[in-house]
């Protein structure tokens, strides 16, 4: 029984020794999270969603052409597949047409950004 306990303690210590350095390395990196999105309406003709980006949230979806209505404005950064970055601001109440894309969009502002999108099917 004593040998089994010793073996369990040794395995646990080895596990902590291996996990410890990995956790220390991850501390400096901020984890990216996806924005929260909910479907408001969907049928065979249209899909309407509301998406909330907290500061630092990144959307990496392929998106169809769409109309976006900004509920709560903010500063965003778009990164294209070739790595080009463009920062822009969307004002509350703005309605914009967006072509289909697969760019990453990140909320680089300090406040929440909220948008309603309408995609025709």
Task: Give the tens place of pLDDT for each residue, 35-70.
Answer: 999 999 999 999 999 999 999 999 988 899 999 999
- Residue 61 main-chain phi, psi, to 5 deg: -90, 155
- Residue 44 main-chain phi, psi, to 5 deg: -75, -5
Give the pTM: 0.71
Residues 6+ apart with CB under 8 A from 16: none
Q: Which CATH number fits domain 36-120: 2.40.160.50, 3.30.70.1560, 3.30.750.24, 2.60.120.10?
A: 2.60.120.10
Tell me the pLDDT tens digit for each residue of 58-113.
Answer: 998 889 999 999 999 999 999 998 999 999 999 999 999 999 999 999 999 999 99
- For the beta carbon of residue 24, count every other beta carbon within 10 angstroms: 9
29 has pLDDT over 90: no
Q: If you average pLDDT over every residue of the chain, what do you get?
A: 83
């Amino acid at each position: 029984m004593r040998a089994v306990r010793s073996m369990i303690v040794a395995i646990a210590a080895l596990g902590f020794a291996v996990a410890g350095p990995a956790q220390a390395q991850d501390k400096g990196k901020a984890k990216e999270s996806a924005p929260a999105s909910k479907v408001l309406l969907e049928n065979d003709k249209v899909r309407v969603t509301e998406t909330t980006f907290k500061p630092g949230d990144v959307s990496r979806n392929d998106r169809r052409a769409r109309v976006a209505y900004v509920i709560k404005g903010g500063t965003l950064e778009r990164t294209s597949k070739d790595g080009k970055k463009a920062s822009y601001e969307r004002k509350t109440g703005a309605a914009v047409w967006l072509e289909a894309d697969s760019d990453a969009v990140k909320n680089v502002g300090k406040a929440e950004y909220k948008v309603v999108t309408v995609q025709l099917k």
